[in-house]
Chain A
Amino acid sequence: MTTLVMRDILTNLLAEEPIPPEKIAYLQTRTRLRLHDFILRRFATAEDSPRRLDQAKLARRLGQSRARISQQLGVPGNWTIDSVTKLAAAIGGEIDFSWRPFPESASYEETLAAITSRMRGLSQHEPTFLKRQNDKQGEPAQPQIGATRVS
């Protein structure tokens, strides 16, 4: 069976001018997926809360049809800052951001070691708000959750 570990393609990204469009495409997809995951997690948490948020209630809060809400939650591809802000507000919060610079240089082995170390660290030192939610839902720690946080 093939065993594969993917190389970090973001190291030394800024050494390339212009930044290759395929790497921009990768980052755009990654950001969309992370944002989608973030909203779905918040929605799932709200679904299980005593107030029991559901898509119908979300639709009423936004003055939209349930079908439209279902479509929005199901497909992150056409989200805009405005639409995701509305979704977050209807779920009960807002999105804040954190900054993560690209690694400047590292060998493949160093990158792998850094990722492994970071994952171990995260599992031991999760942010309090995340740990509380994880405990509630029985979720594993998110290796890259630091990209976003709820204020």
Chain B
Amino acid sequence: MLSAKHFRINFIGWHFQGFPQGERSTSRKKARLLIEGEWPGMDSKQKGRWLAARAVLESFVDGRWMTVKSRPKSRAEFAILCPHADEIWEIRDVNPRPSLRILGSFATKDVFVALDPYERSQLGAKGSVEWANAIQDYKQQWDRLFNERRPMTGSFPDDYLSYARYLD
């Protein structure tokens, strides 16, 4: 858990392009290696991208203002996926390529449970089979980890984030 004041992120499981299926396990060590740029086999570009994603995570944990997506083609750092009722969010680092996504949900205000990181290209186009599978995987993981407990629900975005702006 990363924690600074009231802002927290929990990392649960991590997916990364090129990893064997069997490696997609819940792993504290793996999560740490990815965001420290030390996972074996990553090239410099991949390391740079994941370290940049780490900077976004740190920004959230530090309690800084975060931008949230309010319309398509946004470059905001947080977005809630459709349908809203699923309460699945993504932390986004979109520039430069490859664009990264970390799927998660808010357990409570300012506490984000990060489950699955992806390179955006892994997920295909909107409505793709890959997206559907990712969401399915996500829901199964959540149920396995939290049983009946659901992510928080609330009014977008201020019930979720203390310092949220949608300006795009």
A contacts, CB < 8 Å to B: 1-7, 9, 20-26, 28-30, 33-34, 36-37, 40-41, 44, 55, 70-71, 73-75, 77, 119, 139-144
Within residues 112 to 168 of chain B, which ones have a CB less than 8 A from any CB in chain A?
Answer: 145, 163, 165-168
A3 and B75 contact, CB distance less than 8 A = no
Cβ of B52: which chain A residues have Cβ within 8 Å of it? 25-26, 28-29
With contact pairs A4-B2, A22-B44 given, residues A74 and B56 touching in the complex (Cβ less than 8 Å): no
Specify the chain A residue showing the minimal Cβ separation from B3: A5
Q: B residues engaging A (CB < 8 A)?
A: 1-2, 4-6, 10-12, 26-28, 31-32, 35-37, 44-45, 47-52, 54-56, 58-59, 62-65, 67, 74-76, 93, 95, 145, 163, 165-168
Q: Quick check: A3 and B44 within 8 Å, CB to CB? A: no
Kindly provide the distance from the CB of A87 to the nearest chain B CB, expressed in whole angstroms: 12
How many pairs, one residue from A and one from B, have CB atoms within 8 Å of each other in the complex?
Answer: 120
Q: Is the interface of A mostly helix, strand, loop or mixed?
A: helix
In the bound complex, how far is the Cα of B37 from the Cα of A23, in angstroms?
A: 9
For residue B45, which residues in chain A have a CB less than 8 angstroms away from its CB? Answer: 22
Contacts of B10 in A (CB 8 A): 1-4
| B63 and A30 contact, CB distance less than 8 A | no
Which A residues are in CB contact (< 8 Å) with B67?
36, 74-75
Contact pick for B62, options A9, A26, A74, A142, CB 8 Å: A142
B68 to chain A, nearest CB (A): 10
Which A residue's beta carbon lies closest to that of B64?
A37
Contact between B1 and A22, CB atoms less than 8 A apart? no
Given A2-B10, A74-B76, A33 and B63 touching (CB < 8 A)? Answer: no
Bound form: Cα–Cα A136–B151 in Å: 31
* Bound CA span A143–B7, Å: 12
A2-B27, A5-B2 provided; 14 other pairs, C-beta below 8 A? Answer: A7-B36, A23-B37, A26-B37, A26-B51, A26-B54, A26-B55, A29-B52, A33-B55, A37-B64, A40-B163, A73-B165, A74-B75, A140-B6, A142-B62
With A29-B55, A75-B168 in contact, is A1–B37 under 8 Å at CB?
no
Residue of A nearest to B10 (CB): A1
Interchain CB contact (< 8 A) of A26 among B12, B48, B64? B48
Give CA–CA (A14, B65) in the complex, Å. Answer: 30
The answer on a CB contact under 8 Å between B4 and A37 is: no
Name the distance in Å between B51's Cβ and chain A's nearest Cβ: 4
Known: A6-B35, A25-B48. A70 touches B168 (CB 8 A): yes
Instruction: Enumerate chain A residues within 8 angstroms of B63, measured Cβ to Cβ.
Output: 139-140, 142-143
